[in-house]
Amino acid sequence: MNTDIQITRQLFLATQLFEKVGDRIFATCGLTIKTHEILLLIENGSNTTTKLAKVMNLALAGITQKTKILENKGFISRKVGVDDLRVWHFEVTNKGKRALKDIVFPYKKATGILYSEFSQSEKKQMLVLLGRITKHLSSIQEEQLKEFIVKLTNK
């Protein structure tokens, strides 16, 4: 089998397993992987739907859905923008701050277990390689991706 295909299959499988484990860990604080990431980003200044969508490489609708969940659970609040009434500004509530604090230990413990099979050198190498993959995939524009799919499928 082609090495590129094997790598891709392993990445897909690893992603599914990480999401499964991650969601169980974050569920202990009422979060998911995505809602935890959004909460962290809001806490660190990405406090509008547009900023979150750009940083997370997600559609605005997806961000809106996740922020509504966070708001309904009391993890964030939102306010209409002062300069632009169409823009919502998010803020992490005390409950959200507690959740971020409470997840640190279980998350650190879980990641320690997940990566215990790897040496520090292997972890650094993995980080570099995953960073390169992410950078490369992030550089592909939506139109380029559509053209690429059309060429592959002849549709």
Looking at the structure, tell me whether residues 78 and 93 fall in a common domain: yes
Query: Which H, E and C letters describe the chain, residue by residue?
Result: CCHHHHHHHHHHHHHHHHHHHHHHHHHCCCCCHHHHHHHHHHHCCCCEHHHHHHHHCCCHHHHHHHHHHHHHCCCEEEEECCCCCCCEEEEECHHHHHHHHHHHHHHHHHHHHHCCCCCHHHHHHHHHHHHHHHHHHHCCCHHHHHHHHHHHHCC
Q: Are residues 94 and 124 in the same domain?
A: no
User: Same domain for 104 and 142?
Assistant: no
Q: Are residues 78 and 147 in the same domain?
A: no
Domain residues for 88?
3-117
Same domain, 96 and 51: yes
User: Could you read off the pLDDT of 52-83 as tens digits, one per residue?
Assistant: 998 888 888 999 999 999 999 999 999 877 77
* CATH code of 47's domain: 1.10.10.10
10 and 81 together in one domain: yes
* pLDDT, tens only, 83-102: 777 778 899 999 999 999 99
Q: How many domains does the chain have?
A: 2
Of the pLDDT bands very low, low, confident and very high (cuts 50, 70, 90), residue 141 is: confident
